[in-house]
Amino acid sequence: MTRPLVEVRDLKMHFPIHAGLLRRQIGAVRAVDGVSFDIREGETLGLVGESGCGKSTCGRAVLRLYDITDGEIVIDGKAIGHEDQNSLRHVRPTMQMVFQDPQASLNPRMTVARIISEPLDEHTKMSGAEKRARVLELMDKVGLNPTFASRYPHEFSGGQRQRIGIARALALNPKFIVCDEPIAALDVSIQAQVVNLLEELQDELGLTYLFISHDLSMVRHIADRVAVMYLGKIAELAPRDDLYAQPLHPYTQALLSAVPEPDPAQSDNQGERIVLRGDVPSPANPPDGCNFCTRCPAVMDVCRRIDPDFREVTPGRYVACHLYDPEHGGTAPEQTGGANPGTAQARTGTYPSTQQGGNP
């Protein structure tokens, strides 16, 4: 068991709501509302959930791109939760981010060489020749032709632009990378190539990922453990195989029942589709008790009054649900017997790509 590289405890990110002539604060959007998790060195933690649940905000808050409302964040032994932005400069090389939209995250007025070397300009004292050599090395590492270094982002495809973003993230040899839906804006065939690239880089460089996505099939392939988020909170966190074999939280069960199966007859999931009624509540006015109580098919009276604790119900499995809380009439779940991958080397192989060879 490797040590936790990233430790997040009770992370909260609330955005104030102002109104009136004097712009007084009348409330807050609870985008992230008490999230806790660890990511072990060399591991990939998948963070999934529907749009608007706070996944991207959580990833950005962990990297301190926002000044958090409350909680603590420890990365590589350094507590950064309440450091000011100037003090964070010496920690920035340890943690980087790959953004969702490669077109929006790359400066259209800068060449590829300048984009990739920008972190080197800010955080190192390399000479011009050393930076040039490092840029060409990174381009080769992510599968880009080094002769394209003088080109601009608009001259590349979406997959190539995402590779530029990945090269920029690798420039300072980080230990931890937040991948914020890095394949959402790409074609399906290109998605496979980018995911395979991320896996190869992780195995080669020993990287640790927080992989944010709404694609449950892709997360099942790349993640070692999976955290399911709903309305600013983590509903369930478990090893990948355990979670997909026997989801505990009613929301996780509904999510997995909605995953399309190419051949239902060969599927492990033979259950019926779970259709949730109603809409997701506003994060500015969440319901009393459990956030999921307004849509949960197994709701109890206690769910509408008391917010369930996020607790370990079996070794390595955490869930926030009264169904598994003996104090409120719940029962302990049975052991699933699923294997805990634990490391990035436990994957089943590369993701099947429909486009072989060449750079996307």
pLDDT value for 239? 96
pLDDT at 312: 92
Cβ atoms of 269 and 257 closer than 8 Å: yes
Longest C-alpha distance within the chain, in Å? 68
Distance CA 230, CA 102 (A): 26
pLDDT value of position 229: 95
Nearest to 8 by CA among 101, 123, 100, 95: 95
The distance in angstroms from the start CA to the end CA of the chain is 36
* Per-domain boundaries in the chain: 4-228, 232-259+282-328
Residue ranges in the chain modelled with pLDDT below 70: 1, 263-271, 328-360
Residue 136: predicted pLDDT: 95
- Output the pTM of the full model: 0.86
The CATH code that applies to domain 4-228 is 3.40.50.300
Q: Find out whether 113 and 135 touch, Cβ atoms under 8 Å.
A: yes
Whether the Cβ atoms of residue 316 and residue 295 lie closer than 8 Å to each other: no
pLDDT of 179 reads: 95
pLDDT of residue 355: 38
Can you tell me the distance from the alpha carbon of 149 to that of 112, in angstroms, rounded to the nearest whole number? 5
Going from the C-alpha of 213 to that of each of 71, 221, 226, the distances in angstroms are: 23, 12, 11
